[in-house]
Amino acid sequence: VGDITAESVNYAAIIASDPDLPSNPPPLPPFDPTFEHTSAQKQLNQLRFIYQRGVTHPMTGLDQFWQEYEAFERAHSESLASVLIAEWLPKYQHARSVYLERNRVWTIHELRGGRLAVPPVGCETGVGGGGGGA
């Protein structure tokens, strides 16, 4: 069996042989500058949403992410940027403090990925123990 590479695959033949695809694609709609504007505005809002969600998560690289978010906002509108940055700064600071607290408690070297969690040493273990339940 030979290796399949991008050069050896005939994509046009695969597409042409698909009975579900129409032989002639529908014509493109006429160019509409307002559609371009709304499309760009949607993309801008989606990027803003992603940045704003990201700055609220305690994670490695959060400071750099916040700086990139600030630069992103300032590149589009300085006046809107100052309002949004002031709104999201407390949320970023909270996520940063949570990250730093977690970092003091656990370091990446102490966490063992891929292993099951076990009770701490000295805890009583047993099936069905621990109280709670009905």
Mention every residue, 6+ apart, whose C-beta is less than 8 A from residue 94: 56
Question: d(Cα 72, Cα 47) in Å, to the nearest integer?
Answer: 9
Distance CA 79, CA 101 (A): 33
pLDDT digits (tens, 9 = 90+) for 12-42: 665 566 666 555 656 656 666 666 668 888 9
**Is the model's pLDDT at 134 over the cut of 60?**
no
pLDDT per residue as tens digits for the range 71-122? 999 999 999 999 999 999 999 999 999 999 988 877 766 666 677 777 877 7
Using the predicted structure, report yes or no on whether residue 11 has a pLDDT greater than 80: no
* Per-residue model confidence as pLDDT tens digits over 38-84: 888 899 999 999 999 999 999 989 999 999 999 999 999 999 999 99
Tokens of 4: 């399949």
- The residue behind tokens 């940055």 is 85
